[in-house]
Amino acid sequence: MAAGKPVVILGVFVADTAYRADRQPRMGETILGNSFKLGPGGKGSNQAVAAGNLGADITFLTRLGVDAFAEMAKQTWKQAGVKSAVIDTPDSYTGAAYIFVEAGTGNNAIIVSPGAAMLISPEDIEAHAGLIRSAGVFVTQLEQPIDAALKALDIARGAGVTTILNPAPAASLPDRIYTLCDYVTPNETEAEGLTGIKVSSVDDARRAADALLAKGVGAVIVTLGEKGALLHTKSRSDHVDAVTVGKVVETTGAGDAFNGGLAAALAKGVEPLEAVRFACAVAGISVTRPGTAPSMPTLQEVEALLAKA
């Protein structure tokens, strides 16, 4: 599979700092933890790494501080073949997430401080309009300010670029944003947040997708965890089964693996239904490995899996 048309992703990088302990400390208390792990995170960055590992011609657009976590971000992208359009922001800091994991249950509590990425503005997007217009596929999420995402989708749509909005984390959106999206890719929770329709089955997902089509979206892809994904347009509705590879280790990066895989496949000219199958395989491999960015598979691994299936 050749690299295809360029992919541009607008989003956020955060350094994930994960602490595992028997319980959370009470206010004013210090306790000993069982383990600590530092790793790359942020939805947009994870999606860029997924696409890069799959051989896409990918550029990631974001803001970073000028600090050690920014170096970690750049190293992560370099390893995955991701080009970056970074706006250095010395008066802020690179985003970070505090992740507490309860040892006995695996339950977590998270604080995210996006730092410099929260300063991404419509003016920043305008300054990179040429980059966005040069893409075959443009992807964004909702971790950076919505007015920046809206501006970028507007520029991409005006240039005839295929646009993907991954509406995560769930947020209330201006009506105009939907008409700028060729694809919207919510999970069950996000689909409910956007439409008010609870998604517990494939039929529920179809109803929620219809509500999103009515808002002006071109096509809806609802990711359904172990139930796979639903590709829903005005003319057809296809349920694609999940691709099961082995024991599930961690599902944190599955959505990002899916979106990165979808963008990479569409940029290579793959038909939408095949692109969703490909994205399900990318996600299927990622959940068998720990971490988010480090769990993203290579193109060879995905192609070998699809050949077997």
What is the DSSP annotation of 180-201? G-SEE--BHHHHHHHHS---SS
* Biggest CA pair distance of the chain: 59
Residue 229 tokens, joined: 């994904």
* 92 assigned ligand-binding residue: no
| pLDDT for res 271 | 97
Determine whether the annotation assigns residue 44 to a binding site: yes
Identify whether the C-beta of residue 60 lies closer than 8 Å to the C-beta of residue 73. no
Q: Is residue 111 in a domain? A: no
Please report, for the domain that includes residue 154, its CATH number: 3.40.1190.20
Domain presence at residue 217: yes
- The confidence score (pLDDT) of residue 2 equals 60
How many domains, the chain? 1
Cβ-Cβ contacts under 8 Å for 186 (sequence gap 6 or more): 166, 167, 168, 170, 193, 194, 208, 212, 220, 222, 223
Cis peptide before 145 (omega within 30 of 0): no
Q: Is residue 23 part of a domain?
A: no
* Confidence (pLDDT) at 129: 98
> 50 near 69, Cβ under 8 Å?
no
- Determine if residue 158 is labeled as part of a ligand binding site: no
CA 165/CA 259 separation, integer angstroms: 9
Mean pLDDT by 10 residues, the chain (309 residues): 85 94 96 95 96 97 98 97 97 95 85 94 98 98 96 98 95 95 97 96 98 98 96 98 89 92 98 97 92 90 91
Residue 291 domain boundaries: 7-11+42-93+117-308
Three-state SS string across 256-270, please? Answer: HHHHHHHHHHHHCCC
Do the domain assignments include residue 154?
Answer: yes
Cβ count within 10 A of residue 270: 18
78 is in an annotated binding site: no
pLDDT at 3: 64
Asked if the structure places residue 58 within a domain, the reply is: yes
> Count of alpha carbons within 13 Å of 43, Cβ hemisphere only?
18
Does a structural domain hold residue 99?
Answer: no
Catalytically active residues are 256
- For residue 106, tell me if it sits in a domain: no
In a domain, 30, yes or no: no
* Token digits of residue 75: 């190293």
Is 166 annotated for ligand binding?
no
CA distance 55 to 264: 8
Q: Judge whether 286 is annotated as a binding position.
A: yes
**Is residue 42 a known part of a binding site?**
yes
